Amino acid sequence: MDILEDLQWRGAINQETDAEGLAKEIADHKIALYCGTDPTGDSMHIGHLIPFMILERFARYGHHPYILIGGATGSIGDPSGRKSERQLQTMEQVHHNEVALTKQMKKLFGRNSDITIVNNYDWTKDVSLLDFLRDYGKLFNVNTMLAKDVVASRLDQGISFTEFTYQILQAFDFYHLYKNHHVQLEIGGSDQWGNITAGTDLIHRLAGPDAKVFGLTIPLMVKADGTKFGKTAGGAVWLDPEKTSTYEFYQFWFNQDDRDVIKYLKYFTFLDKDQIDALAEKVKAEPWKREAQKVLAEQVTEFVHGKEAVENAERISAILFKGNVQKLSTAEVAQAFNGVPTSEISNTPINIVDLIMELGVDKSKRQSREDVTNGAITVNGVKVTDVETEINPADNFDGKYVIVRRGKKKHFLAKVK
């Protein structure tokens, strides 16, 4: 199958400006295409990753993708998907985020020499206000701009002129890339349809109605239960390991619902149809083995963080499954128990019952004593059954952590001050 057939099978196409024309263009020759992201933060999360994975797929089919970092558009703010005005960042913060995102993109996609990273600040910074209004603003009809979903959804609450003109800036990007790099296709999320079509319209006005340019959007990703994809109780799942540890990242994918796992294998891995169909059969026949989830976690974690991160995550998982937390390093404790109930304690020895109460494991000392004597409490992987036991925080994990478990699964973490 060609790239478009592959994307259709993966369920990765929502809207196209000219499906027949794009299919013919791709059949005739390799094309250049692009997708952009604004530096509103210093890391992408997994939701941002979706369109860029599609760029990678195009590259593997021999096409030439461009990744655009929005140094210019990021200083303005895309109104897409927002109900109110975005708080503008300082240019210093925008630049910091530009550098961080560029580094992240190079790490993720730099291994493919056919992917080029560009920054729209480079071609926007020297355009004067008068040139912008005369050369580009004149070509946009306000009535048409108001009809775009991204603007229409904001009219009741109000939208600033700054955010209103965002679609012109994004259209200018497409025109620049078409004119200077012969980029013919822009890809984005479903919320970018209005901005993308503004770009194709601008090119047709400036280069002629026969200019072969196209837009394609990706469906909104939702989970089987109808909730938003990519969110956990702790917030977004980031690609930066300082924000979301590689173990948490791996676990996010491993814990996916059987109803979602095949969809995510299609979106986020480069496994082919036969491989994914075989995993789909295993989900039906032996769901308790969670083979599809394991493959998903391995594939995505290796792509984003490397093979060593997969090995590390699986090692931590095996240790926790067996309850051998003593084998964890101090750094691994921080990863494995990020998100469990956590309290601070002093670095002096503390009675086990007092420790349980301080961590909120139980609500009363009577219950705490019962849990200890009944063998329900382990500290740093060792069962404690004597209520007179003193716990010395300095004994494990470089004196930084104490791990308390009640029963088989309920963990509590003490950070030592």
- Residue 179 tokens read as 């004119």
CA distance readout (Å), 242 to 42, 43, 133, 177, 414:
11, 10, 42, 34, 20
Give me the residues paired with residue 217 across strands.
15, 188
Q: Is 171 helix (H, G, I), strand (E, B) or coil?
A: helix
Question: Positive or negative, the Cα torsion across 387, 389, 392, 397?
Answer: negative
Asked if 8 and 266 touch (Cβ cutoff 8 Å), the reply is no
Q: Rounded to an integer, what distance in angstroms lies between the CA atom of residue 370 and that of residue 2? A: 65
- Residue 195 tokens read as 């901005």
CA distance readout (Å), 11 to 15, 197, 262, 377:
11, 21, 11, 48
Beta strands at 231-232 and 235-236: parallel, antiparallel or unpaired: antiparallel
- The C-alpha angle 264, 269, 272, rounded to 5 degrees, equals 105
166 is an annotated ligand-binding site residue: yes
CA distance readout (Å), 86 to 49, 158, 159, 192, 333:
22, 12, 10, 17, 37
Q: Rounded to an integer, what distance in angstroms lies between the CA atom of residue 261 and that of residue 136? A: 45
34 is an annotated ligand-binding site residue: yes
For the beta carbon of residue 351, count every other beta carbon within 10 angstroms. Answer: 15
For the beta carbon of residue 273, count every other beta carbon within 10 angstroms. Answer: 12
Binding-site annotation, residues for L-tyrosine: 34, 166, 170
Binding-site annotation, residues for ATP: 231
Binding-site annotation, residues: 34, 166, 170, 231
